Amino acid sequence: MKRSISVKIATRLFLGNEKCFGPGIASLMDGIDRGGSLSAAAREMGMAYSKAWTVFQNCEEVLGLPLLQRQSGGRKGGKSTLTPEGRALLAHYRSIQKSLEDTGEILSMQLNEVYDMPKLKGSTMDAWVNMAQHHLACGKELVLATVTARSGSAPRGAGARMLVGSEGRIWGTVGGGLIERQTELLCMEALKEKRGFLRDFNLDTDEAGSIGMVCGGNVTIMVQYLSCRNEELLHLCAQTQKLLESCEDGWLISCLDEAGAESFMLCSSEEGAEYDSRLKDMQSDKLHFQRASTYCFAQRLAPGGTVYIFGGGHVAREFAPLLARLDFPHVVMDDRVEFTKTEDFPDARKVICADFSQFLEQVTPRASDYAVVMTRGHAYDLEVQKQLLTTPVGYIGVMGSRRKKDYVFGELRGCGFGDADLARIVTPVGLAIGGETPAEIALSIAAQLVQIRAQKDG
């Protein structure tokens, strides 16, 4: 059974540091109001009469107000009623309690919304699409801000995104500082007007002081209004998630016309090239362009390519979380069940248990992808490299010593691979930072991938 979070608020009144009124005495007073008897009210609460009487005496003493009026004698025995002061205090208390209970219900709804929110995993593309889909499905309107172009030393590059709702920024960043604050205000305006904007920020030294930034450069930000009533948009989010999970290549094209109306297009690499010839054989992951009066920004579904990790050992377990933080989608493969547990690689697109000699039956590395080989032995490394050299994969990095490299390269030559083939292999893998521990080795490899991606993006 699904459990939910419930916020319970109990109200107690204090005079200075001394408690003078709370839920217990309020319940006693309700019982007296119903039945006209302190003893009956105490029994109803499972409280001794003497304790109930003491509670009233203490409360009256602290407040300096009479709360209870007792009447004794007669054939029907004594009677208790609330004084006018007691009745007024109880009414004010119940009013405050009701207001706080309403607040508790709102907090419960908000917390459960966060609790139910899908776990964000994988690349930045995964994250914002997942987050947008969740909020739109909950009936919330959003605005998506995207950095579409950057020059100079501006803080964030093309593809940086931020989601804004009626309460302000929900997720992401377009650079921080006052440029982000101005963008957030622009998003709030877009929410109000239900339309988008295209805005240029010039961060050169003359204008930097006016927005509190001195990094220099220029940034273009596209702001798009996302309606929760747009069924096509919800469908596009779901389809984008499916393609991201399958590691298929393609483009998500975001458009804004001169009237501020948004539109999105999800397409394969071939369809993208047909839509605009500039997307054909694109080396970069992002491109902004103009089509008639419509401004467009295209971004690959797997920016920078997918990283295929061969071997699920200690280094892989340190390496995979870094890739997730650095916006590299990744797939982990090993031939041992105990090294392919999804809980060990929660951010991986796929975790595959398969024979290393048959991995091409499971995955299809592309020219934009990376392969990092860190299996448990020379023989397995050799088998993986033999197959990788038959694919167009753009980067092959192999963990190991130079002695291991000489052995494996000798075997590869014996299999018919030449100097041009072997030149594709980077070994030892990673930047030379002197790392020795699994975490340090993972850091050096991740740094090298970031370096290669930056060079490719120019």
Q: Please classify residue 396 by burial: count the beta carbons closer than 10 Å to its beta carbon, then call 0-12 exposed, 13-18 middle and 19+ buried.
A: buried
Q: Please classify residue 348 by burial: count the beta carbons closer than 10 Å to its beta carbon, then call 0-12 exposed, 13-18 middle and 19+ buried.
A: buried
- The pLDDT, as a whole number, for residue 453 is 86
Separation CA 89–CA 94 (nearest Å): 9
Separation CA 431–CA 156 (nearest Å): 24
Domains for the chain: give ranges and CATH numbers: 13-114 (1.10.10.10), 124-250 (no CATH), 307-457 (3.40.50.720)
- The pLDDT, as a whole number, for residue 441 is 95
* pTM for the structure as a whole: 0.57
Cβ atoms of 67 and 110 closer than 8 Å: no
The encoded tokens of residue 186 equal: 């622009």
pLDDT in tens, the chain (458 residues): 344 567 778 888 888 888 888 888 888 898 888 888 888 888 888 888 888 888 888 888 888 889 888 776 545 446 888 999 989 998 888 888 887 876 776 666 556 555 454 444 545 677 888 889 888 988 999 999 999 988 765 567 788 899 999 988 888 888 777 788 889 999 999 999 999 999 988 765 454 445 444 455 688 999 999 999 999 999 998 888 888 777 677 889 999 998 889 999 988 878 888 888 888 766 677 888 998 899 999 988 866 688 999 999 999 999 999 998 888 889 999 999 999 999 999 989 889 999 999 899 989 898 889 999 999 988 999 999 999 999 999 999 999 888 888 999 999 999 999 999 999 999 999 999 988 899 999 999 999 999 998 887 65
Separation CA 53–CA 25 (nearest Å): 10
- The pLDDT, as a whole number, for residue 396 is 96
- The pLDDT, as a whole number, for residue 211 is 46
Separation CA 309–CA 328 (nearest Å): 12
Q: HEC states along the chain?
A: CCCCCCCCCCCCEEECCEEEECHHHHHHHHHHHHHCCHHHHHHHCCCCHHHHHHHHHHHHHHHCCCCEEEECCCCCCCEEEECHHHHHHHHHHHHHHHHHHHHHHHHHHHHHHHHHCCCCCCCHHHHHHHHHHHHHHCCCCEEEEEEEEEECCCCCCCCCEEEEECCEEEEECCCCHHHHHHHHHHHHHHHHHCCCEEEEEECCHHHHHHHCCCCCCEEEEEEEEECCCCHHHHHHHHHHHHHHHHCCCCEEEEEECCCCCEEEEEECHHHHHHHCHHHCCCCCCEEEEEECCEEEEEEECCCCCCEEEECCCHHHHHHHHHHHHCCCCEEEEECCHHHCCHHHCCCCCEEEECCHHHHHHCCCCCCCCEEEECCCCHHHHHHHHHHHCCCCCCEEEECCCHHHHHHHHHHHHHCCCCHHHHCCEECCCCCCCCCCCHHHHHHHHHHHHHHHHHHHHC
Separation CA 297–CA 416 (nearest Å): 44
- The pLDDT, as a whole number, for residue 162 is 92
